Each structure stands twice: as structure tokens, then as C-alpha cells.
A and B are shown apart, each in its own frame.
Chain A
Amino acid sequence: AQSVTQLDSQVPVFEEAPVELRCNYSSSVSVYLFWYVQYPNQGLQLLLKYLSGSTLVKGINGFEAEFNKSQTSFHLRKPSVHISDTAEYFCAVSDPRSNTGKLIFGQGTTLQVKP
């Protein structure tokens, strides 16, 4: 069975500062990894995904994440945040062998960007 832990429930940061949102996963098999963003009262939008290959993945809105197999981590980073990045961020993992396509989500991290 897989699980996902997002280590910070809330991350406050000032505008134009760098940010890292942490995600660790547990799995006995290879996994696919995802980061989603949710703005208030909206659905989830995919930021980026790791399926295979290069461990540094670039996504939309200037975000990137690095897959670290030895540390079972997939931390999300942005070098300079904007007020508009204020949102809930979810890390998720799935089993590539699964026919159901089920995702296991972390509990989410609220990014609060202050002016």
C-alpha cells in the first residue's frame, strides 16, 4: 500500500521569496508522482507530474519538483512566489500497474503568500 505525507499543513511566505513544499511517500513499488493546486472553491489543477526519466520536473506557473528515490521525496519548489500562488497544494502518488488509476493524496499544504 502507498501513502503520502505532506510535512507542512501551512507555509507562510513573503511575495518574491522562494518556497519549498515538502512531500514524502511510502511505497514498495515504483510510483507515479503528482502535484496539484487548488484555488478557493475550485477543482484541482495539475501542476506537474513525474512518470519516469529526468528526476527534475518542470510544471506550470514556474513550479518545479525533484524526485528523490533514495529519500522517497517529491518536494515542490518555486524560486519567487506571487500573491496569486496563494492556494492549497496536494501531492499525490499512484501505482503505474493499477488499472483503476486511483491516486493517493496527501493532506494538503496551504501556501499563504504575503505582500
Chain B
Amino acid sequence: SQTIHQWPATLVQPVGSPLSLECTVEGTSNPNLYWYRQAAGRGLQLLFYSVGIGQISSEVPQNLSASRPQDRQFILSSKKLLLSDSGFYLCAWSLRGRERGRGSYNEQFFGPGTRLTVL
């Protein structure tokens, strides 16, 4: 069966410090990967998605970046955190389409999340 891991579970960082959040998926190959953020009392905001190693698409311009160094590893980074970066960060994966042109199944499976507080 497939599992998705995120770490750390919680993080408290000062403004201006760097950030690295990691997400790994087990039990599947060639997944689509996603990073979301939930600010307090708000919905989900898609930050980045990736359809393959080294392929990153950004949804919104911001202080964050993402990388996919391995097939099942997705990393969210920042060089200098802002107060507005505080939130709950969720990683998710979905199956890749099995045949060209048919698209993917689109159901996403979410990790447990990382609570980031920037002070």
C-alpha cells in the first residue's frame, strides 16, 4: 500500500531564517506531487506541483520554492522566511495517467502536514 510522509510535524522558525520541508511517498512510482498551504481559518492554496523529477510548476509567486530531486521526494524551501509564511503545509500525491492523453485519476492522497510558525 502507498504511504506519504512529511517532516517535521511542527516547526517554529524566526523571521529571516531558511526553511526545508520534506515529503516522501512510498509504494508507488512516477506520482504527481503537490504542495499546499492552509493559512489560519482559510482554505487550501496550491503552491507547487510536479509531474516528474526536476519538473516544478509554481501556482503563485511567493517567497517559497520547491524541488523534486528524486521520483518520490518533494521538498519545499525558503531562503528567508516571512511572518506570512506561517501556516499548515500539506503534501499530496496522485497517480500519473497510464496512457498518453487519458489524464490521471486525479484523486489526491494527503500527508499528515507540517505546522509552521514564523515568529
Contacts and interface: CB of A to CB of B under 8 A. Distances in A.
Interface string B80-119: 0000000010101011110000011111111111010000
Contacts of B112: 42-43
Interface string B38-79: 000011101001010000010000000000000000000000
A67 interface: no
Contact of A102 (B42, B49, B105, B113): B49
Contacts of B109: 46
Interface in A86-106: 90, 94-103, 105-106
21 contacts: A32-B107, A41-B88, A41-B115, A43-B110, A43-B112, A43-B113, A45-B110, A46-B107, A49-B107, A90-B43, A90-B44, A95-B106, A97-B103, A98-B104, A98-B106, A99-B51, A100-B49, A101-B49, A101-B105, A101-B108, A108-B43
B32 to A, nearest CB: 4
Given A45-B110, A101-B95, A95 B43 contact: no
Interface of A: 32, 34, 36, 41-46, 49, 51, 90, 94-103, 105-108
Interface of B: 32, 34, 42-44, 46, 49, 51, 57, 88, 90, 92, 94-97, 103-113, 115
Nearest to B113: A43
B13 to A, nearest CB: 18
A41 B113 contact: yes
B46 A107 contact: no
A101 B104 contact: yes
Contact of B110 (A44, A94, A107): A44
Nearest to B6: A43
B90 A105 contact: no
A75 to B, nearest CB: 18
A101 B50 CA distance: 10
Contacts of A41: 88, 113, 115
